[in-house]
Each structure stands twice: as structure tokens, then as C-alpha cells.
Structure 1
Amino acid sequence: MHSLAQLRAGTLAGITRLDLACGLTEFPREIFDLADSLEVLNLSGNALRSLPEDLHRLIRLRVLFCSDNLFTELPVCVGRCEALTMVGFKANRIEQVPGQALPPLLRWLILTDNCISELPTELGQRPYLQKLMLAGNRLQRLPESLRDCHRLELIRIAANQLTELPEWLLALPSLTWLAYAGNPLETEADAAALEATASIPWSQVRLEQQLGEGASGVIHRAAWSRPGQPDTQVAVKLYKGEMTSDGSPLHEMNACITAGIHPNLICVEGRIVDHPQHTNGLVMQLIEPSYRNLAALPSLASCSRDIYANDTRFTADVALRIARGIASVAEHLHRQGITHGDLYGHNILWDEHGDCLLGDFGAASFHALEDNTESRALQRIEVRAFGVLLGELLERIDLGLSEELRVQWEALQQRCCQPDVLARPGFSEIVRVLQEVITAH
């Protein structure tokens, strides 16, 4: 984090990224002194209500973050920044989004947790749009112009007021990750599954070290003390109350419970009750330390693609085992009426044998159990996410990949990613194909 004193003293000359969070109520004009180099400007966590009309003087600016401020309108000056590709105004008070406020090269737009009831037609006239984060607003519909955004891969529209998913949305050729929980259109979670979940009193749980923290909550290692039984080592996830980029943490918890039991899911032991701050939480299976994340989150540059460590390599056997495990658990979820919404390498834990677990249900949504055009389309959108994963695994196989196996793998990957959504295979077929490949291999 930089300081205003550094900026005013001129010691930041030549930097490409500036982070300022110091209670700003006005845009510091000294930022323009960095115009020849500045590419990323982060003014999140201030008290700004406006930006200067001549913001376009920052000719190299590619990324602008202004989350957690006091904007009530997306500033029109943002749209005049010709190099700008990523715009983030999460958790403001934005009600209006003028079409002129959308820069021509817009690739990634974050307007999560605002007060937006309508979006401009111009949004669909941004041909590079790839990632669109709109959870936690008041949207009743999406602009039909979005049907022309053929590069759009990820859209978060959870916790709005949408009563239907437009047919054109479910037919977008590149759509891969979709979250829509918490809208009137969504099918309810399985009440019986929620009621059948064990209630675990907070007094039985003793938190130990923190294992991780995400947008929706904090995970701790913990000891679970049941009367008359030895302590059990578990993981406890305590959910935060605020809206995340994916949607509501409460919906995530319900999806985790409804998902049920599968070898490639983290087992839920029960739901915490009687927390002194009324915090929602789950007690879950503690994962062996031999498991690690398959990938890291996408970067600003990769946008919708995970980042893999350079030394992440697999044998063909291990890659096949991972692929089959994830296809199997996705098939299981779809049978429960759940789309994961975030089927990504960074949400997969794996070990050296190819055993794997799919986690993070923050973007999960419920759909009808009956087989109809909408449920098939929702499932086939997730199949494309699996196709992306297949491609990433294939790129990293360095042992045991025969030419025959490569041809089979590439053929399946292409079928999963073809632009005709309903022509993609379902996960039942994918599991069968992978099992046949494993057997032959």
C-alpha cells in the first residue's frame, strides 16, 4: 500500500501500480504525474464519490479498482479511458450505470453489491467482455444486447430479482461459469436434506489454527468434542455475512449440505448451532495435508483462466484419475439439481495419486431435477468448464501419454467446449467415456 505523502513527494515516479487507501474524499491530482507509466490504479477503501472528468489522461491505465467507496453512479469519465479493460466498483451505492461509462475495450466488469436495477444496452456492445460480476444488486432483467457477447465466459448474477434466465443467455457459446442463486427464478434447496443435517452445538467445538480464508468465510482446524467420545479433528468453516462476488454465503452453505456424500466431495459432518454471534458455520472432514490446490486463482492478465505453477506436471494415469473424479462428482451434483458454478482447478484439491476433491460452493445454484431444455443447458454450460479443465490437464502431462490417448483426450475436450451448448455431452456420458479410456489405458 502506498501513501499520499509518497505520491506528493514524487517518490513513486515510474510505478505501474498505485494502491491508495487513506480515507480519500477527492481524487489526488498528483496521480496524473504517473500518466506515462501507471497501468493499475487501486483506490478501494476510501470515501470517494466522483472521479475527475479528465481521467482519460491516464493513457496507460488498464485496470481501475474503486470498490468500497461512496459512488452512486458509475462515472462517465471511466468510459473515456481507451486502454481500460478491467473496472471494479464493488460495494458502493451505485444505482446508475450510464452506457458512456463503459470503456470500449472492457473485458472484466465488477459491480457486485450495489443498488443497480437496470443495465445499459451498451454493455452488450463491448465485444471483449469476458467476465461480468453483478451479484447482490436489484436487477430484474439483463440487457438483451448481451446475446452478442460471444466471448463472455463468466457471469455472476446471484442475489438479484431475476424471474427467469433468458434463453439467449443459456445459449452463449463461451459461457462457462454461471452463478444465479438467490433470485426468484431459482429452484429451492432440498428442505429435507437441510433438515436432516446434524446440528452441532458451538460448545462442542474448539477452534485451533486458521487453515484459510476466502471471500465467504474462514476455515479453522478444530477439535470436535462429543459426550462420551474422544475428540475428533475436523475443519470448521465460519461464514461471513457480507455479499461475495459469487453470491450469498448462506446459499453456499445450503449447497454444501444439499450436495450430499460423494468420494470426491469434502464430507459435511453437521451445521453449527448456538454460536454466540449467531454466525453460520459447518463442521467438515479435515483434509489430509498431502492434498494441495491444483491451481491458483486467475490473475488480472489471465482474467478467466487459472494460474498453474510451472512445476505442476502429471503422469497420464494421474491426470485421468483427476478428470474422472471431477466428472463423477459433477454428475452427482447435477443429479441433486446443483450446478457448481465455479468448476475450476483452483477449487480442486489433489494428491500425487490423482485422488481429488471438489470444494468451494460459493457460486453453486439449484435447478429443476426434471430433464428439460433449461436444466440441460445449465448442466452443459458446466460441461464447458470441465472441457477447459481437460485442456489444462492435457497440457501438463509429461509421462505416459500415447498418441492414441492424446487423440481421445482432445476429442472429448473439443466436444465439451463446442459452441453449440446442447450438443455437448452430459457428465454421465463423460464418466463412461473416461472409464473406457482408463480401462483401455
Structure 2
Amino acid sequence: MTAPFMNTLAQLKAGQLAGITRLDLSCGLTEFPREIFELADSLEILNLSGNALSSLPDDLHRLPHLRVLFCSDNAFTELPECLGQCAKLSMIGFKANQIRHVPAAALPPQLRWLILTDNRISQLPDELGQRPLLQKLMLAGNQLAHLPPSLANCQNLELIRIASNRLTRLPEWLLTLPSLTWLAYAGNPVEMAVDVADDDATPDIPWAQLALADVLGEGASGVIRKATWQPEAKPVAVKLYKGAITSDGSPLHEMQACIAAGQHPNLIKVEGRVVGHPDGQAALVMDLIEPSYRNLAALPSLASCTRDIYDPATRFSLAVALRMARGIASVAAHLHRHGITHGDLYGHNILWNAAGDCLLGDFGAASFHATADTLETRALQRIEVRAFGVLLGELLERIDTGLSDDTRQVLEGLQARCCQPEVLARPSFEEVEALLQSIPHP
């Protein structure tokens, strides 16, 4: 319990927050503060994560403008039915509770984004498929052996995270959803039955040979630190993996996928796997990325839901955009040949420099599939092709030099083919790569 949060609660109780549109309270709450209703005229986003709540008031709908509700890291055992009465509520986050039961009555009519990661859910109501605006569904780290067949009706569903559950098969309807673009299913029996490429070629690197320095970055799956690798004193990056379930799945599955991906010019090279960490923590040693590289985009916002946020100043020449598109198509084709879908092919997971060199990172949503050419394999790969189509559209929107009408027509045609609703009619990444290579170099 920290002073800033207590001050926020004190301000709420003193009536000093009138007119705010967002309220964040994390101060050991065991009951919903009734003073929140005094913000009914303005409150749109309510974040009560990190408390000890197990229920919400039946009259929550008295917050008529409430669009977003976060109640992660609390003590809920069921999704509160009162949510279903909130007319404008479209985003619900109840990650890391102890939820076993999801009543149909808890699903609001405008539901667009549902986060139930890291709970104890074994069944979802059929009524989930009656929420036509549903776009993003986060269910990793539960006990689901089946998904409601009614989800086949969710024509706008673009992102599904079902990693670390109990699914023994992927339902056929899932692989035909016209808008599905980002799918993560690692850590289910259906995925673990796949033979993963032997990774004996990845060397073990003793922890004692690494001298850690500054933190370079931190995400849901772990911390990346700069390090010196002895005895050659080579500068490297070390990713130390966390053990907890993330929104994508298990960090240890991510590490396995990084190793199995092998080497490619558009992947960050894995130097080896760390052994002998004093706490037994899993870690990889990777190439240190040159400082000229930067993220292509930022994560989606609450409003954009499944679409990245680009800096308005981000513009490319045709040469740079084509180089990036070719690189990403090439590395995606490489991964598919190795039986891996990335699951999160997005601008925010791509590093690029001014020359158009690029690296695809973050394997947190990666899953393994059979390398044999089956309908299921083809569908899984073409779902990822749609992600490339979205990315290609984002690149096209930002080309400001060198793009002729003919080339634009070719690229827009490719983008449309990648995003068409008929999953198996989309091109493979080999076809995409070949078409991009056929465009004359500017």
C-alpha cells in the first residue's frame, strides 16, 4: 500500500476528482468504494487492478459512460453479472484472479475486448458468440478443453490467445474465421503433440561467463540486459525469462520458439542458452542490436484495440518500405518452414533502421505446427499472412516517395489478397515473397 494510491483514495473520498474520465485505484481495497458513483457523469475508464476485491456492486450500471474496466490481480472467483448491464462497457480485464465461472449475464452487449488470462476457467458460455463486436479475446492460462462453437459467429474477431489451456484440437471453425489475424495456442496438448526441431545445436553458456550491465528493456515475459560474455569480452544481450503466464502464454514456450526458429538475417541471433543461473532462471544470450534500430510502431491503444500506433512523423521511401516488407515476408516464410507461427506479427515487434533493415522479435505468442502440408497447417499459416497484409497496408499508407501508380496497384492488390476473408485463398509467404521480389528495385 503506497502513499500515492492512498492519496488518490483520499481525494476520491474528499470529492476532489469530479469530472475525471479515468480513475486508477490500487490500495488494498476489499470493497468497491461507493464514492466512485459520484463520478458517474464523466467516468469512462476504471482501473481497480491490484486490490483484494471479490465482488462489484449490482448497480454498476449507474456509471453510464463506463467503457473500460480493469480488475486484474484481485480475488474474483466469477465474472460479475453486473457487467452485463453496463450499456457502453466494451473492454473488460480480469487477468490473474481465481475465476472459475463466466456467467452469460456478465457479458455486456458492446463487448469488444475480453481479458480473462491466468484464471481457472474450464468452460465459457455459448452467449460469447452473440457479441458481434468481439475483436480481441485473451484466454491464456486457463483450463479450457473446448471453445464455444458459437464463436464462429464472431466475424470481427481478430486476436485470440488460448495458450496454456487443455485443448486437444483446434476447432475447424477457428481456422476459417474471416478476420482472425493473431492466434497463440502454445502449451496445449494439440501443440505439444507436434515434433519440435532438435535444438542441440544451441550451445550452453555458463552464467559465470556473463557480466550483466544495464537493463535494455522489460516486457511481460522477461527482462533484457546488456552483458559482457567472457572470455572474449563480447558485448551481448541476455534475456532473463519470468515464470508467470503472460497474456500471450508461457515465457518458457517463447524461449523454446526462439531457439527452434534458427538463424535468419531478419531474426535476432541466439548465441546460446544460459546454464547455471543461481536461481535456476531460464535465460538466452542474444546478439546485441545496434542502436540505429528502433521500434516500427507502438502497441495498440485502448481505442485502436488491435491496431498499432505509429508516430505521425514515420514516413518511408518505396525502397525502404519494400526492403522491410521483403524482409518480414522472408522471415515469416522461414518460420513457417520450421513449423512455427509467430502469432504476433505486428509493427511493434519489428525493429528497423533508416536503410530498411529490419528484425522480427518477441516470440511470446509463437506456436508450433506440423510441417506437413495439411489443410490445418495451411490455414494456420494463412492466418498469419493476414497479419502481414495488415502490416503491408500500414507501410503503404506511409510511403511518401518513389511509389508509382503501377507499383501501388500491385502492392494494394497483394494487400487485398492477404486480407481476404477466405482463409485458404490467401497466398503463402513464399508467394508473397516472390511477388515482392518481382517488383523492380527503386
Both proteins in one fold, TM over 0.5:
yes
Shift of 1:297: 0.2
Q: Which amino acid aligns with 2:260?
A: T
The code of the aligned residue for 2:408 comes to R
Name the SS of the counterpart of 1:311 in structure 2.
Answer: coil
> Partner of 2:115 in structure 1?
110
- How has the CA–CA distance of structure 1 residues 164 and 147 changed in structure 2, closer, same or farther, with 3 Å as cutoff? same
- Tell me if structure 1 keeps the 8 A contact 2:194–2:370: no
Deviations 1:337-360 (A, max 9, x none): 000000000000000000000000
Give 1:322-337 correspondences, 5 Å limit. Answer: 322-337=324-339
Do structure 1's residue 97 and structure 2's residue 99 form an aligned pair?
no
The 8 Å contact of residues 204 and 225 in structure 1, kept in 2 or not, is answered as yes
Unaligned runs of 5+ in 1: none
Query: Where does residue 220 of structure 1 map in the other structure?
Result: 225
Query: Is the 8 Å Cα contact of residues 322 and 354 (structure 1) preserved in structure 2?
Result: yes
Instruction: Give the distance between the partners of 1:325 and 1:130, measured in 2 at CA.
Output: 28
How do residues 246-261 of structure 1 correspond to structure 2 at under 5 angstroms?
246-261=248-263
1:8-87 matches, within 5 Å, as: 8-87=13-92
Distance (Å, rounded) in 2 between the aligned partners of 1:415 and 1:337: 23
1:380 maps to 382
The 8 Å contact of residues 24 and 48 in structure 2, kept in 1 or not, is answered as: yes
Q: Which runs of 5+ in 2 are unaligned?
A: none
Structure 1 position 188, deviation (Å) = 5.2
Taking the TM superposition and a 5 Å limit, the aligned residue runs for 1:8-407 are: 8-187=13-192, 193-226=198-231, 230-407=232-409
Q: Which amino acid aligns with 1:7?
A: L
Q: Which amino acid in the other structure matches residue 105 of structure 1?
A: Q
Deviations 1:392-435 (A, max 9, x none): 00000011111111101100000000000000000000000000
What amino acid is aligned across from residue 346 of structure 1 in structure 2? Answer: H
Shift of 1:197: 1.2
Distance in 2 (alpha carbons) for counterparts of 1:281 and 1:188: 25
Secondary structure class of the residue paired with 1:235: strand
Letter of the structure 1 residue corresponding to residue 319 of structure 2: D
Kept in 2, the 8 Å contact 1:188–1:366? The answer is no
The offset of 1:270, in angstroms, is 0.3
Native 8 Å contact 1:135 1:156 kept in 2: yes
Please say if residues 383 and 416 of structure 1, whose CA atoms lie closer than 8 Å, have aligned partners that are also in contact.
Answer: yes
Superposed displacement of residue 196, structure 1: 2.4
Cα deviation, residue 438, structure 1 = 3.7
Q: What RMSD in Å do the two structures reach over aligned CA positions?
A: 0.9
Supply the AA of the counterpart residue of 2:437. Q
The residue type equivalent to 1:195 in the other structure is: D
Q: Are the aligned partners of 2:197 and 2:338 in contact in 1 as well (CA < 8 Å)?
A: no
1:169-227 Cα offsets, whole Å, 9 max, x none, are 0000000000000000015576553232111111011110000000000000110013x
1:238-274 alpha-carbon deviations (Å, 9 max, x no partner)? 0011000000000000000000000000000000011
SS in 2 for 1:193: coil
Between the aligned partners of 2:69 and 2:52, the Cα distance in structure 1 is 16
CA distance in 2, matches of 1:138, 1:72: 14
The CA distance in 2 between the partners of 1:27 and 1:289, in whole Å, is: 46
Residue 422 (1) aligns with residue 421 (2):
no
CA contact (8 A) 1:132 1:155 kept: yes
1:187–1:367 CA contact under 8 A, matched in 2:
no
CA distance in 1, matches of 2:195, 2:260: 6
Question: Distance between the aligned counterparts of 1:190 and 1:393, measured in 2?
Answer: 36
Q: How many Å apart are 1:10 and its aligned residue?
A: 0.7
Instruction: State the shift of 1:4 in Å.
Output: 1.0
